[in-house]
Amino acid sequence: MIRTSMVALALAALTLTTTACNTVDGLGDDIKSVGRAGKRAID
């Protein structure tokens, strides 16, 4: 249940950050940020 919620949250965050970035480099940074946030939430 918690894992499913975390995945849904990560996908929602990724969707929001994807619409906010203007370059491919910015998209990579956004994806890294979502990964770090997910790791912190899991730990």
Residue ranges covered by each domain of the chain: 2-42
Burial of 17 (0-12, 13-18, 19+ CB in 10 A): middle
- What's the pLDDT at 22? 60
- What's the pLDDT at 14? 81
- HSE at residue 41, side-chain half, CA atoms within 13 A, is 14
Separation between Cα atoms, residue 41 and residue 43, nearest integer Å:
6
**Structure pTM?**
0.43
- What's the pLDDT at 19? 66
- What's the pLDDT at 20? 62
Q: Give the tens place of pLDDT for each residue, 11-35.
A: 888 887 766 656 666 777 888 888 8
- What's the pLDDT at 24? 66
